[in-house]
A and B are shown apart, each in its own frame.
Chain A
């Protein structure tokens, strides 16, 4: 029998189709909703990514305990992509989450530089991204698909300035900040502006690069200016070393910081040098809030009694707000909600569904989170109070709560 070339092509085509079918058979067969997460599982601030992963896991476990479904669709386990703490890797990780895994929403990142690198990708793909804990204002300005569930650095900077000027009653503060971090630069500027507005003076301004180990040169230069306190708007790894070396140069006043200090490693690295220091944070573990204590109990159960940090709490809240928005979409508009299923990846149906999901997240109001009541404002930022934590005898103690003064900013 003579085979026509046409038949051969047809055979080849059917074979290709078969392989393609077999290829996606395992995954594409069941319908599910994919949610992406990325973070610094490794790298110099690895506790950020690890805590985010653990907070998300607690939220997912709660969903799984109640059947693991939203609107009749399975929600796939949220496995984090590692960005190694690098902005360029964050962009790659989110590309993969959006294009390859076909996620309908993305949770991440902690560090603002990395959220900023990933945000345009989610925005262009029309996939909502919720940053649990990036506090730099620029993050949500990347587009209308980018949200956050934490307060902003302008608020945080103001809170610390207010605390320094009115609670500690100090007038002369020096600043030591991290040039490599958008977060640190932003927080330093907001603090300085607010503090000067309250009649204080910034007597010295020095910087370092994250990863540095020796800060004695900067601290020696700052100490020569006789500050009453030093504001260190960086991350916990450097803050601990800076505290140690500041005490070594003979500086006795308090060191002040922001939520970048929030890690169990802070006191481990800083030791006794951290006593008498203050930082602004998203929560205080010893606050008697029922949502907070519920999360802490669940977290301890899952992770052998270890205590969560605020980063984990914010990740939990971000995930729960996303689930709540999905639930609402499923009840209000089940037809559009079905577009979130993995079988609709790449279709217009999916685009409409993620757009609707975006609208639902934007309407979040007074959500009772572990880190306080969360309302998403028109700029897609969370409006919520901040606490100031005092470190006393190697323990983080609640000091004060400050509420937003004007919700407009």
Chain B
């Protein structure tokens, strides 16, 4: 039993990371109907921004709380800026073209970031400074949770609630929701569609960067290709929850994280990557709109 609970803790931690990345996929899809394949690489960039910042702030890696917060926030801002540039330079020019063109562009941007990362940061894995040293908390029944795991879960939760607040209770959130219904109608109401799209990209990129830093704090090894698998899995998580649906992305991420950990713990680790795609196929077969997604008739 204690082993199961421990695995559950592991699964929730990893699931919150998937959820954070999945949110970016789902928001961009909700607004643009674009699957932003470069999203996983933004997650990688976030980790690298954190790496450089943490080394610059504390060359001797003296851990401190306020510093960790600065590292997290500035990495998010940096990744937000990259998200802004990518949207303006790569996606905006092809927005009037077919959806396929945008998809191919997304794949191109993803490859650019991965190989640019190899060129710029070097291909070998980097050691992420220990800005928060690990401590263990015993929850009883043999279950332990580290302070890093707690931080991952809490920060993810805060960011998700923050996103919910922005989308539901602010003017810009209202505009986002309007744009996701119809670009034309929103434009007619005086909403600057371009600005909202850019805002969505920046917001999504910031969440992905936060996920990158959180993972790097927990598992201090980062490399330029680290975003590929988590990116794909988070995409599956977004589809699982119902792509375009924000609570769905969170739910999908958690389901995915827990499913993976349970598969590793009780079945076989070789199935870890397979389970994500088995879930994807199953959901596409039986509930194409995802767990929380609504079926909408699409005019063809």
Knowing A179-B269, A209-B273, A220-B7, say if A214 contacts B130 (CB, 8 Å): no
Which of B68-76, B86-94, B184-192, B219-227 lies at the interface? B219-227
B125 contacts the other chain (CB 8 A): yes
Residues of chain A within 8 A of B123, CB atoms compared: 41-44, 46, 84
> A244–B220 contact, CB under 8 A?
yes
| Set A208, A217, A218, A237: member contacting B125, Cβ < 8 A | A237
Contacting pair A214 B219 (CB below 8 A): yes
Interface residues of B (CB under 8 A from A): 3, 6-7, 10-11, 13-14, 118, 122-125, 127, 130, 134, 136, 144, 146, 215, 218-221, 223, 225-226, 229, 260-262, 264-266, 268-270, 272-273
> Is A208 a contact of B215 with CB atoms below 8 Å?
no
Number of A-B contacts (CB under 8 A): 91
CB distance from B198 to the nearest CB of A (A): 31
CB atoms of B144 and A269 under 8 A apart: no
CA distance A218 to B14 in the complex (A): 14
Judge whether A241 is part of the interface by a CB distance below 8 angstroms. Answer: yes
* In the bound complex, CA of A216 to CA of B260 (Å): 11
Decide: B127 and A248 in contact? CB cutoff 8 A: no
A363 in the interface (beta carbon within 8 A): no
- With known contacts A224-B3, A249-B144, A213–B125 Cβ distance under 8 A: no
Contacts of B265 in A (CB 8 A): 217-218, 220-221
From DSSP, what is the main secondary structure of chain B's interface residues?
Answer: helix
Q: Is A128 located at the chain interface by the 8 A CB criterion?
A: no
Known contacts A179-B270, A206-B269, A224-B3: A217-B10 contact under CB 8 Å: yes
List residues of A whose CB falls within 8 A of some B CB. Answer: 41-44, 46-47, 50, 84, 179, 206-209, 211-214, 216-218, 220-221, 224, 237, 240-241, 244-245, 248-250, 265, 268-269, 271
- Shortest beta-carbon distance, A52 to chain B, in Å? 14
Q: Which residues of B are found within 8 Å of A46, using beta-carbon distances?
A: 122-124
Contacts of B226 in A (CB 8 A): 213
Complex: chain A residue closest to B220, CB-CB? A269
Q: Which residues of A contact B229 (CB under 8 A)?
A: 211
Assess whether B261 is in contact with A237, with CB atoms less than 8 Å apart.
no
A84-B123, A224-B3, A265-B125 given; 8 more Cβ-contact pairs under 8 Å: A44-B225, A206-B269, A213-B226, A221-B3, A237-B221, A244-B220, A245-B219, A269-B220
Complex contact B264–A217 (CB within 8 A)? yes
Q: List 23 A-B residue pairs with CB atoms under 8 Å apart, sorted by A's residue number.
A: A44-B123, A44-B124, A44-B225, A206-B264, A209-B270, A209-B273, A212-B272, A213-B215, A213-B221, A214-B218, A216-B261, A217-B262, A217-B265, A220-B3, A220-B10, A241-B221, A244-B134, A248-B146, A249-B144, A268-B127, A269-B125, A269-B127, A271-B130
